[in-house]
Amino acid sequence: KLLPKVVDWREKGVIPAVKSQGSCGACWAISVVDTISSISAIKKAQSNATDLCIEQVINCAGNGNYGCEGGDTCRLLEWMRKSNVKLNTLKDCETTQQLKNGTECAFQNATVGDYMAVEKFSCVSLVDREHLMLRYLATRGPIVAAVNAASWQYYLGGVVQYHCDGSYEDLNHAVEIVGYNLEGTIPYYLVKNSWGPRFGDHGYIKIEIGKNLCGIANRVSFIELM
């Protein structure tokens, strides 16, 4: 089946606003939680995404995740599934729970209203199989990817085509892929970063498809919700 030439889930309104992680190394949490928000909106046929309580994850995730000191998208998803974590909406998180001393996990599972929980997920290498990423983006929704973002601080726009090493050992960041474009001479992924809206193209970066640039296909997660 032929894939559409352009997929951009932002046009459907299901992509939450770009976050700014600042000095907190929480890309592992932001990318996963925002992707869950997107998948939920698509599943419920909503025309806009609901921001979820990222702090709930940053402060509480076990399984070898360390809050602002760093974490891992796959270990986070594993923790969420095994612990049956129910994510609060941002609204509920702000009104019902305050952090104790900034270090302790003060969050409880959401028990009321519109919460989201992970049913299953994948964490796979799709190097040399990037067409599977495109197919998922076209038919299901956004995906989470680990990347090497060492050179991204110099990104000013356009499509990244070179000088972005794809080795597994150099993965150091996590992002939400929200679409792709196959129309031009250089096909690219549309990648949502968490360095605020002033980064790149309103918070986004374009990465060429098919070369595992920046390691984008090394560690890909598809998420299904309950």
Question: Hey, which residues are catalytic here?
Answer: 27, 173, 193
Tokens encoding 201? 């193209």
d(CA 143, CA 125): 13
Residues with Cβ within 8 Å of residue 171, at least 6 apart in sequence:
146, 147, 148, 215, 218, 219
- HEC per residue, 152-177: HHHCCCCEECCCCCCCHHHCCEEEEE
In the 8-state DSSP scheme, what is residue 52? B
- 3-state DSSP call for residue 216? coil
The β-bridge relationship of strands 143-147 and 173-181 is antiparallel
